[in-house]
Structure 1
Amino acid sequence: MLNIGCHLSASKGYKAMGKEALNIGANTFQFFTRNPRGSKAKEIDPKDVDALLEIIKENKFAKILAHAPYTLNACSADESTREFAVEIMADDLKRMEYLPNNLYNFHPGSHVKQGVEVGIQLITNMLNIVIKPEQTTTILLETMSGKGTEVGRSFEELKQILDGITLSDKMGICLDTCHVYDAGYDIVNDLDGVLDEFDKIIGLDKLYAIHLNDSKNPFSSHKDRHEKIGEGSIGKDAMVRIINHPKLRHLPFFLETPNELPGYEQEIKMLREAFNE
């Protein structure tokens, strides 16, 4: 079975997200833990969470993915911004225990001209503070496109972060198709080669999820602008190869394409029809 979903709004509550996922043919979904451009988070209603957990159990959902706010920058040059990142992620991980054994994704951040090595050290510092032995959540570093001073533009940079984590069994990678293509990994013409490189550097056992997005920009452009499936420079055929690849097909796929729910429903239907059961 293809495990696929999209980004849903948590504003209506957890149960509502589960119902929305079912209504569009999804069997997983992604959501922001709090305001993606700020810090405010809704108070958790345990009954609402329990209702979602029941939907997940009854419908055999794949793991769901929570996304940290974009304002979280663990490797900022500003100390207060770094302290904010620690505070937000620590709180998010506590909240995630209401949804045990799922996934939490974040952008590694931008080193803001401090240099990538400094950036990587600051990111590992934060993770070693917030990760606890008892947590059930797996934290995922997202592959980045390489715009500006982003950290995580290469598999090597992500590996360096993972190598610095004491409780490394709590960590993994979320591969974003738009980002890696824009970063210079040719998943259109050499998907096997890219996966072999990932396996050699990081290990495919560390790949937990995929953001399935087409790209508005050409290969190796180091931009970050998602496009609808089949309407960008990656194309539908490459996306179909990705969801059917024997090393990837078991993973949960999350659409972050520029769509509303009806558009996501169409993409999910199209991809399910192209999936080789």
Structure 2
Amino acid sequence: MVKIGAHMPIGGGFKRVPKETVGIGGNTFQIFPHNPRQWKANLPKKDDVKKFNDGIKKYGISQDSMLCHSGYLINLASPKHETWEKSLKLLISEMQICTTLGIKYLNIHPGSHLGEGLEIGVGNIVKALDIAMEQEKSTFILLENVTKKGGNIGYELEHLKNIIDKARYPERIGITIDTCHAWDAGYNITDPIELDKFLNKIDKLFSLKKLLFVHLNDSKNELGSNKDRHENIGKGRIGINGFKVFLNHEIIKKIPWILETPGDNDVHAQDIKEVLKILEVE
């Protein structure tokens, strides 16, 4: 059985997530650990944590199928010291929330060097990760691939390897591959030969054991556009035939898939049905 789910809402508490995940046809999920547009992040209340964990047990969701996604404001690559310090503080808070909830993995965008260059940006990211992972020792960090815009770091797989190689705790760092970001960055994951090359490159750079989640998104734009605009499954430029190639790959089938497509739970339920249809799963 494939593992598939979506980014789930947490308004009103984390306790709602397990039941709603199963309700949309999922068995894996992603959540924000707090309001992603705020610098403030409080630990969840004990009652909410208990009900969340009771739901996880009730619906049989495994630890390796749960993912948190860092907030939008964090930029660990920032050359602006105040922003970098606030980003580090918030990252540590997010990791503490993950530990409190029993969620092993926290997904982050590497960040933007804001025009100061890759070397400075990577150095800032590594410094922040080293400090955060020294303070909070349970959480694994997953670096997500991104598109080439605004000084972003991570549009090439080599960027992610550079970060991992320089980090003090590489054994606690993995990667998430976003299909929209990969497509928009110029990786043709819809072609069987190119997909094999892409996965072989991941294996050579990191080993495939580092590839722990897939963000499953169609793209509104052409291959190599660097636009980063997600679309619902089968309605974008990756398309039904492209996803047939990607999703049926034996390596991809082993990894949890998280939808970040536009829409609410009802729309994500339809996207999951579309994915299962593509896989020809009844």
So what's the TM-score if we normalise by structure 2?
0.93
Distance 1:276 1:200, change over 3 A: farther
The DSSP-based 3-state class of the residue aligned with 2:247 is: helix
Between the aligned partners of 2:93 and 2:223, the Cα distance in structure 1 is 37
Structure 1 residues without counterparts, runs of 5 or longer: none
Task: Using the TM superposition, give the Cα deviation of residue 42 of structure 1 relative to its aligned residue in structure 2, in angstroms.
Answer: 4.5
Quote the Cα distance in structure 2 between the aligned partners of 1:174 and 1:243.
15
Q: CA RMSD in A?
A: 1.6
The question of 1:181 aligning with 2:175 is answered no
Measure, in 2, the Cα distance between the counterparts of 1:154 and 1:226: 19
Whole-Å Cα distance in 2 between the matches of residues 136 and 244 of structure 1? 33
CA offsets per residue over residues 112-143 of structure 1, 9 Å max, x none? 11101110111000000000387332110110
**Aligned to 1:264, what secondary structure does the other structure show?**
helix
Runs of 4+ in 1 over 6 A off after TM superposition: none
| Structure 2: gaps of 5 or more residues | none
Count of aligned positions: 277
Partner Cα separation in structure 2 for residue 157 and residue 45 of structure 1: 37
Residue 251 of structure 2 aligns with an amino acid whose one-letter code is: K
CA deviation profile, 1:28-73 (whole Å, cap 9, x unmatched): 2111112212223354112222222222223222421111111000
Q: What does residue 107 of structure 2 align with? A: 105
Report the counterpart of residue 279 of structure 2 in structure 1: 275
CA deviation string 1:189-247 (max 9, x = no partner): 12111111111122211111010000011001111100110011111222233233211
Letter in 1 for 2:84: R
User: Which stretch shifts more, 107-116 or 41-50?
Assistant: 41-50
Residues of 2 paired with 1:76 and 1:100: CA distance?
29
> Is contact 1:155-1:198 (8 Å) kept?
yes
Contact 1:73 1:110 in 2 (8 A): yes
TM-score (norm 1): 0.95
Per the alignment, do residues 208 and 220 of structure 1 end up closer, same or farther by CA in structure 2, a change over 3 Å counting?
same
> d(CA) in 1 for partners of 2:42 and 2:17?
15
Contact 1:244 1:276 in 2 (8 A): no
8 A Cα contact 1:155 1:202, kept in partner: no
Q: Percent identity?
A: 38
1:25-104 aligned at under 5 Å gives the runs 25-62=25-62, 63-104=65-106
Looking at structure 1, the residues matched to 105 and 76 of structure 2 have their Cα atoms a distance apart, in angstroms, of: 19
The CA distance in 1 between the partners of 2:222 and 2:280, in whole Å, is 28
The SS at the match of 1:77 is: coil
After TM superposition, the structure 1 = structure 2 runs for residues 212-251 of structure 1, keeping only pairs within 5 Å, are 212-251=216-255
Q: Match of 2:253, SS?
A: coil
Structure 1 residues 2 and 42 mapped into 2: Cα distance closer, same or farther (>3 Å)?
A: same
2:17 equivalent to 1:17 = yes
SS in 1 for 2:106: strand
Instruction: Return the alpha-carbon distance in structure 2 between the equivalents of residues 262 and 129 of structure 1.
Output: 40
Deviations 1:130-159 (A, max 9, x none): 003873321101100111210011010100
Q: Structure 2 CA distance, aligned partners of 1:207 and 1:276? A: 25
Contact 2:74 / 2:111 at 8 angstroms: preserved in 1?
yes
Q: 1:147–1:222: 8 Å Cα contact kept in structure 2? A: yes
- Partners of 1:93 and 1:109 in 2: how far apart? 17
1: CA distance, partners of 2:68 / 2:172:
15
Distance in structure 2 (CA, Å) of the matches to 1:88 and 1:194: 33
Q: 2:69, 2:175 → 1: CA distance?
A: 13
Farther-moved stretch of structure 1 (138-147 vs 30-39): 30-39
CA distance in 2, matches of 1:107, 1:210: 14
